[in-house]
Structure 1
Amino acid sequence: MTGHQARIGSAGGGPVRRPGGQQGERRLLRRRVGHADLGAVRDVRRALRELLDASPHAGATDVAELLTSELVTNALVHTEHGAVVTATVDEDGLRVEVRDFVAALPTPHAPSDGDGTHGRGLLLVEALADAWGVCEHGMGKVVWFELGAGATPPY
């Protein structure tokens, strides 16, 4: 996919088999955003809201939008190659991954007085997400967070 094209739908074509025989539908959003295209952050938020509105987790939309905005903005400001955003929602919760193409791993840090409004994104993710993390991924990394019951790091 290129530009601002989004794909929202069932991942894997339908129900997902859960441990213990439970079934549920998983919905997916995937979007590629171009380098320095900060307007894409608004478009990703809108698509995420649409994804969550049709789920049992619509109450988490504001937090999900905030955290996604922070991760996408970080990827666009601190890299030169754009990013790929993937959000998956099912009855257990929401998982958002932002993949960029720079290997340097971010770490949350307390911003100094001279930072203005910069440097707080990962602190927000750390404070508001049920789980979050960073993992190396090929030629780059994935920064992810989860909202919902049973959020556990998969990596």
Structure 2
Amino acid sequence: MCRLSRRLGRADLRAVPEARRELRELLRHWGRPGRSETAELLTSELVTNALVHTDHDAVLTATLGPGGLRVEVRDFVAHRPRVCVPDADDGTHGRGLALVESLADAWGVRPHAVGKAVWFELGAAAA
């Protein structure tokens, strides 16, 4: 089992490409290039949401095991995110969780005593 854990500074959007790079390194030997690209995209969405929609730090955790990949981004705000239907005039805003919902094998929100964790999974067996 391989694991990545990284603290993300409050509103530091430079963390998004850094998180993608670190995840890419973790997945380098996974042997699932299409799944790795999807993992990077979905991780970017969760990290961006945590940094843009909260005024707190966040923590990224990615775990790669025999069954696949689980990525979790924990923040310290209790407000639960919701999947939005993006407005065509809104550019790329509002599409993050819709992408996660459509591309991940599973995803959800887990409450914590302080805040929540938004997570997704990509199975090793999926194409």
TM range (shorter): over 0.9
5 Å matches for 1:130-149?
A: 130-149=105-124
1:107-152, Cα deviation, whole Å (9 max, x unpaired): 101022342210000000000000000011120000000001589x
Bigger RCO (CA 8 Å, 6+ sep):
2
5 Å matches for 1:1-155?
A: 26-149=1-124
Unaligned runs of 5+ in 1: 1-25
For residues 135 and 33 of structure 1, the distance between their equivalents in structure 2, rounded to whole angstroms, comes to 19
Moved more, 109-118 or 95-104: 109-118
TM-score when normalising by structure 2: 0.93
Find the structure with the greater CA-based Rg: 1
Unaligned runs of 5+ in 2: none
TM-score when normalising by structure 1: 0.77
| Structure (1 or 2) with the greater strand fraction | 1
Q: Identity percentage over the alignment?
A: 64
| Counterpart for residue 4 of structure 1 | none
For residues 81 and 88 of structure 1, the distance between their equivalents in structure 2, rounded to whole angstroms, comes to 23
Equivalenced residues, count? 126
Q: In angstroms, what is the RMSD of aligned CA positions?
A: 1.6
